[in-house]
A and B are shown apart, each in its own frame.
Chain A
Amino acid sequence: MQYLLTFAKSFIILGLLLAFFAVLFTGPGSLTLFLSFGQIFILIGIVLYLGVVIRDMKDRRVL
């Protein structure tokens, strides 16, 4: 389960970085591209994290 959490963190950090720079620096065209990729990565990361949380709750174990 630990590796799933690591994957979640990696995806979310990558997504956040893309979104961060998209919103901070880029113009409209690039904004869509970077932000869309960022959002996809964030979404994958969140799903993985929630998967870990649900499994953790099932197993009655802490993260």
Chain B
Amino acid sequence: MRVRDVIMSGVLLLFFSTIANADRPLSEIGHPAAGTTFTDLVRIATILAAFASIVLIIYLQFFRRQQEIDTGRKWLYFIALFMLPAFVMFGGTYFSLEEFKNVDSCMDCHQMHPFGADMMLNRESNTLAAKHFRNNWVNDHQCYSCHTGYGVAGTIQSKMDGLRHLYGRVTGIYDRPIRFRGNFPNANCLTCHIGGEKYEKVQIHRTLHERILEDKISCMRCHGNVHPSMQHRYYPVVTFRGGE
């Protein structure tokens, strides 16, 4: 078998693995009912760019090696070694940032399973998170929507926290039991609730309006049963895409 045959076999294998994965609905990644999203398109483009770049490099290395070096070949090098890989880097980063907003991403760590189970599987649960999930009060990115501050600073902070969590997960170095280290700004609740009829008609909200806005009193003080307490957590083996 010649080198060329081996290379072509590898290229075909890569190509068919892409095709074989095509029956996995792209929308499954994070938006079960939303159809194909921009993130899905970025994912496809990233996969194709990586594939094209690999093929192009192999082609330049093995099939045009002996030929005269010309401007066209230099451009091919530029596309294969700079433009496409740079696109893969940015596309991959964008895709991973979006992917981490999904509930599945949070549930990827075993430590989070009790919270996911309480939200998604326990229909009797009376916790705030479960009620929000069950009633579809937050349509998408349920964990991210409440646990991330809004704006650019919030996104950066959540990314930093995520990296800290990942470091703890990979190394196994973290304090047990896990405790929430940050604070929970009222803005995370108020973004949806303030101005709503149900919120405004509660007298105590109006009385404490300034203090609530300034985070001097936490929403959790009255609405505190957010997630199950230590005694009420259980650790099911679940796949959150398909239930228990």
Residues on the B chain within 8 Å of A53, using CB: 78
When each residue 32-55 of chain B gets 1 if its CB lies under 8 Å from chain A and 0 otherwise, what string results?
000000000001001100110110
Partner of B50, one of A8, A9, A16, A43: A16
Report whether B47 and A28 are in contact in the complex, using a CB–CB cutoff of 8 Å: no
Partner of B51, one of A20, A33, A38, A62: A20
A46, B80: Cα distance in complex, Å: 10
Looking at chain B, what size class is its interface with the partner chain? Answer: 35 or more
Residues on the B chain within 8 Å of A15, using CB: 85, 88
Partner of B57, one of A12, A19, A46, A63: A12
Report whether B93 and A39 are in contact in the complex, using a CB–CB cutoff of 8 Å: yes
Identify which of residues 60-99 in chain B touch chain A, using a CB-to-CB cut-off of 8 Å.
Answer: 61, 69, 73-74, 77-78, 81-82, 85-86, 88-89, 91-93, 95-96, 99
Report whether A29 and B108 are in contact in the complex, using a CB–CB cutoff of 8 Å: yes
Identify which of residues 32-46 in chain A touch chain B, using a CB-to-CB cut-off of 8 Å.
Answer: 32-33, 35, 38-39, 42-43, 45-46
Report whether B85 and A45 are in contact in the complex, using a CB–CB cutoff of 8 Å: yes
A19, B46: Cα distance in complex, Å: 9
Partner of A23, one of B46, B53, B74, B102: B46
A42, B49: Cα distance in complex, Å: 13
Residues on the A chain within 8 Å of B77, using CB: 49, 63
Q: Which of B54, B73, B89 has the most CB of A within 10 A?
A: B89
Nearest-CB residue, chain B, relative to A16: B50
B207 at the interface (CB under 8 A from A): no
A42, B100: Cα distance in complex, Å: 22
Q: Chain A interface secondary structure, helix, strand, loop or mixed?
A: helix
Nearest-CB residue, chain B, relative to A30: B108
B8 at the interface (CB under 8 A from A): no
Report whether A46 and B82 are in contact in the complex, using a CB–CB cutoff of 8 Å: yes
Residues on the A chain within 8 Å of B104, using CB: 27-28
A1 at the interface (CB under 8 A from B): no
Q: Chain B interface secondary structure, helix, strand, loop or mixed?
A: helix
- The answer to whether residues A23 and B92 also contact, given A49-B81, A50-B82 and a CB cut-off of 8 A, is yes
Looking at chain A, what size class is its interface with the partner chain? Answer: 20 to 34
A17, B92: Cα distance in complex, Å: 12
When each residue 1-33 of chain A gets 1 if its CB lies under 8 Å from chain B and 0 otherwise, what string results?
000000011001101110110111101110111
Report whether B105 and A38 are in contact in the complex, using a CB–CB cutoff of 8 Å: no
When each residue 144-185 of chain B gets 1 if its CB lies under 8 Å from chain A and 0 otherwise, what string results?
000000000000000000000010011000000000000000
Nearest-CB residue, chain A, relative to B170: A33
- Min Cβ gap A40→B in Å is 10
Nearest-CB residue, chain B, relative to A61: B69
Residues of B within 8 A of A (CB): 14, 17-18, 21, 43, 46-47, 50-51, 53-54, 57-58, 61, 69, 73-74, 77-78, 81-82, 85-86, 88-89, 91-93, 95-96, 99-100, 102, 104-105, 108-109, 166, 169-170
